[in-house]
Amino acid sequence: MHYILAPLRGVTVRTFRATFAPALSAEGFESCVSPFIPALSTKVNQSSLRDVSPADEPLPCVPQAIGKDPAALRALLEAFRRLGHAKADLNAGCPYPMITRKGRGAGLLRSPDVLARMLEAGVEAMGPGNFSLKVRLGVESPDELVSLMPMVNRFPLANLTVHARTARQMYTGRPDLARFLDIAAASSNPVVYNGDFDPGDPESPVASAILKLKPGSAGAPAAVMVGRPFIRNLALREDSATLLAAYLDATELELCGRSSVLGRMKELLAYWREASPAWQRRWDKVKLCRTIAELRMVLGCRR
């Protein structure tokens, strides 16, 4: 199976991708999608591109845009191309009401005309087969995307990644595998499955259901995108403490300010606490840390 690292804003950032490269290759990841970069204006904010500079990327990385303005999207995609990227992705899955209310992220599903113009701009800017869409099953109902498939199929996409939940579900409840299979059957573009797939637990209900589909058969995904399960599993590696120390060092070099560094590290460790009782106990101390020195003490990551 082809595995793609999912974008998680604040977690799977460039420094994370570079530091945890040994784990990504050990788990068979072949590519990744960057956390989203806002396409808000035709004047691209250069500092927003820092996370997708291709230098030092361990895997091919597809930069992701979020927005609803085709002209702003074109400008951002041009900037991606100038950095050397041949592919790009559009976020139509972000479920937060602050974003969807403005018609961005999963909010694009409520405006099929706008989504069509964004796909048109994306395919024109990147070329046929080089632009992809990451999407939810719907905002309120899991039937919304199915009804948009004739429109989506008009565009020659690199792939259509389906997080098999509605936006309303956020990140909870079960992925809807039956609806995913309906989309996969209706799609003229390659489809990527996403949602609760743990490559480290092939017997789990989601992984076993997906893995039992014969490659190339109706509904079988071309690839699987994995986010939280991979991030949690990192905590169980023998070298987790070493990688974490390297991540803290690299994060301190990258970010200015105590609260950004603490925030970034706590984002990751909030996943690790779910992986084992030992990390849960460490988390209980980590969450109280107010300085980087305290965090280093708790984690045993002295310089």
Ligand X SMILES: Cc1cc2nc3c(=O)[nH]c(=O)nc-3n(C[C@H](O)[C@H](O)[C@H](O)COP(=O)(O)O)c2cc1C
Per CB under 6 A, residues contacting ligand X are 6-9, 11, 35-36, 64, 91, 93, 134, 163, 171, 194-197, 226-229
Whether residue 144 contacts residue 182, with contact meaning beta carbons closer than 8 Å, is answered with no
If the CB atoms of residues 8 and 75 are measured against ligand X, the closer one turns out to be 8
CA distance 254 to 260: 10
**What is the closest distance, in whole angstroms, from the C-beta atom of residue 296 to ligand X in the complex?**
24
* Position closest to ligand X via CB: 227
Q: Which is nearer to ligand X, 200 or 300 (CB)?
A: 200
CB of 198 to ligand X, least distance (A): 8
How far apart (Å, rounded) are the C-alpha atoms in residues 149 and 157? 13
Closest separation in Å from C-beta 211 to ligand X: 15
Distance of closest approach, residue 89 Cβ to ligand X, in angstroms: 7
Closer Cβ to ligand X, 10 or 300, answer by number? 10
- The nearest distance, CB 8 to ligand X, in angstroms, is 4
Which residue lies nearer to ligand X by CB, 188 or 204? 204
95 within 8 A of 135, measured Cβ to Cβ: no
Q: Which CB sits closer to ligand X, 143 or 274?
A: 274
